[in-house]
Chain A
């Protein structure tokens, strides 16, 4: 049961083969057993979870269940959930019990009847690509516990990879769903900006942040996405669009599909074995009837520099609210008001967060704004325009998710620039606001390789279709790490 897809679990719940309480208990027990080593969960609250499961069972019994009612899920600890400790991986919020629900949480709990298993570990305030910046310690990759799971949604990824949860929520500001999905052999999708409400999702970089599903397959992601999306009047950037069923096109044949390969994603800088795995996936797509076309994203090499101006700029401002006045951590000892701020923030934030706050403060400060912030915004436009051009000749873009497989814990943590470059293929998608996903496409030395699919705006259903057809003809996504059963 623990390896079943959401669809299978849904069928089992509907046919009363298992109750939500039983299913949730199964996963809670696995968390008890596996989490001490993996460290994927920051907060687990068995009573809360079982209360939700009982409510779900009642809903199923009353005959008003939705497709995912009673399904347990892990929530990235960036989503505020009423009554739950919501830490965002930071000491700053290590005591913050949210007094309200994020829209995504409300949709999953109140509307869909899903059951939260707990809150998953993450890079502090989603700033990181390895989960090593969490105040609650690093997360181990279930495929190799000496390696990182990726980040920032590393706890969510490790939780699913170790089957402590059948699915999880993630958020993606520069690759934080796709990169950990790639490094943990999962399927994860970052939707078009504005499709999933950001209300209650603790902001890192507001113009880039987007929540999305992480699961074992494209089909599961489609089902989850159906529960997460929707217009939210509490989010000014939420898009008011007609509802769609993201699973509707899963089985559509790929004949005639044009897959664009950006030459910039296939040059130097990518591990050769990773590249080989991606190449064999491309061959598979040819067999499925897709046409492969060459495209170019000429400004993509500027995406990391532009991102490390825009994201820290927005973050420096977004994180100003953490000042020790209304909630969260306050330094135990301080002098005057400014000293209270400075000590609270020095102690409450970790090194990477402070680094980005300083970068952001600097690029917005007087005399530097034009050269950095404005220039980065102009380059952002160039990067977005590249995609507009590319999508004139292809339907989806394909490439590697990350330049390498999971790296060793501690390997890059001393060198921020090396860490930043691990998101080199994912960041442009956030800058443009496009949907992107990662799905398993092979292994290198026993470690998963992810490939990335990028779609045009609102083309999530097509991305899921392209991923699903591939997952019908290969079994990479079904492989399990050793010692997880």
Chain B
């Protein structure tokens, strides 16, 4: 038997959307000059002490509620002790035995089309902790430079059970989590700036066997790297085992240039972190009133919205997922439907996911910056629904809205005379003219060439400047040719 099962658990560090650090009043703004945002507390000057940022706790509670987890009434900050130059105190303040969020789960679709399936990943915990600084390795006479601006930035470390069975599942989970933390406003999700980083615990086993030894791939800051790193690591582990070597537990780094993982040289003795409760910080107590307040502030969550899109609007699971990828997309879609009408939900979905998305993509714009507003798009789709215009004309109107040629679809249709011709008499006249002018096509059609029919349709539409109702054109042509 030559089959291997992949087992993956993810630990994600989401930087929380606070203006100040988790234990100090220094700014968390990105991109400042080195060490200009490292205050006495962040630098661990002798004698300084930490005081907890309330907003960071708010964010943790939000997350806990959003994933149906238990928000711990009492959680404890512990010190994780190890020496590293980007860790000024010689310990990281984190949560160990009693984290603020326990349990919960995240569901998401994996794949598309026929092979799509729903996956559920259980979360072990999520805990608050501080980020470390940065070591810069460019050459300072053979030394490293340390920037502590990031030290003390609030993080929520979100840990899953080893529930994922492929890199695709891991990426789908990570994307869903990424969307969720942005959705509930606790993390800006900026992966280039390191606001959302994944560590992947990867092992392989024969189905039915106990878990294999895992290796942890650190700090994957793009979904592509996450997939590539896992795929490489899985193949590496399988090769090792098949060649008779046992996997050693290790922390590894992924090199995007080579596409390979390699063991980290530091942290060999780091497994003895000597965790103990931080004597400078008292237990974090979260009362029912606080939880209720945060609950009241939570928006409708993507999973709830997705269900609603499927059940109330009749969208497919795939469409519903795409449209709930971010709060901005969902808001745009819902505003479009509000104008176009629920009956047009499916065309609204298509317009947002296909036409609008393509146009935005071409210009490199976010949906929030779309020149065509949701109300404008909704107005346009309403005119398709009531057959004022055809789909083809609608594309013209859309382009006109994009370039600002009018304030609404109606205005553009009116001004540019794009209203669809639905008068049977008028269309019949055009059909007769085209049949008379194209005897060759007529003959070909009669000889069995279906293609010739399309050419005739095209001629009629051309003569109508695209405004004739295509269905009527079709019907009339068939009638006449049959007659």
Contacts and interface: CB of A to CB of B under 8 A. Distances in A.
Nearest to A337: B85
Contacts, number: 99
Given A202-B47, A326-B43, A326-B88, A236 B281 contact: yes
Interface in A324-383: 325-327, 337-338, 341, 361, 364-366, 369, 373
A86 B274 contact: no
Chain B contact residues: over half helix, strand or loop, or mixed?
loop
Interface string A73-111: 000000110000010100001001011101000000000
B31 interface: no
B46 A88 contact: yes
Contacts of B83: 320, 323, 338, 341
Given A237-B282, A323-B90, A366 B47 contact: no
Interface string B134-177: 00000000000010000000000000000000000000000000
- The residue in B47, B51, B280 that gathers the most chain A C-beta atoms within 10 A of its C-beta is B47
A326 B147 CA distance: 11
B32 interface: no
Q: Which range holds the interface residue count of chain A?
A: 35 or more
A326 B44 contact: yes
Contacts of B241: none
Given A317-B81, A325-B146, A364-B81, A236 B47 contact: no
A450 to B, nearest CB: 28
B45 interface: yes
Chain A contact residues: over half helix, strand or loop, or mixed?
loop
A236 B88 contact: no
A320 B89 contact: yes
A23 to B, nearest CB: 29
B50 interface: yes
- The residue in B43, B44, B146 that gathers the most chain A C-beta atoms within 10 A of its C-beta is B44
Interface stretch (A60-68, A158-166, A203-211, A218-226): A203-211
Interface in A183-202: 198-202
B279 interface: yes
Contacts of B45: 80, 98-100, 326-327
Interface in B31-78: 40, 43-52
Contacts of B280: 203, 206, 236-237
Nearest to B85: A325
B281 to A, nearest CB: 6
Contacts of A205: 279
A321 interface: yes
A450 B448 CA distance: 119
B276 A207 contact: no
A235 interface: yes
Contact of B279 (A80, A206, A369): A206
Nearest to A238: B49
B49 A202 contact: no
Contacts of A86: 46
A96 B40 CA distance: 14
B79 interface: yes
Nearest to A206: B279
B272 interface: yes
B91 interface: yes
A331 to B, nearest CB: 15
Contacts of A236: 49-52, 280-282
A198 B88 CA distance: 19
A234 B89 CA distance: 17
Contacts of B281: 236
Contacts of B52: 236
Contact of B47 (A203, A322, A337): A203
A413 to B, nearest CB: 25
B129 to A, nearest CB: 16
A325 B84 CA distance: 10
Nearest to B86: A325
Given A317-B91, A317-B274, A364-B81, A202 B51 contact: no
26 contacts: A80-B45, A80-B46, A98-B46, A102-B47, A199-B49, A200-B47, A200-B48, A234-B51, A236-B52, A236-B281, A237-B280, A316-B81, A316-B274, A317-B79, A317-B81, A317-B274, A320-B83, A320-B91, A321-B44, A321-B89, A322-B46, A323-B83, A323-B85, A325-B85, A364-B276, A365-B272
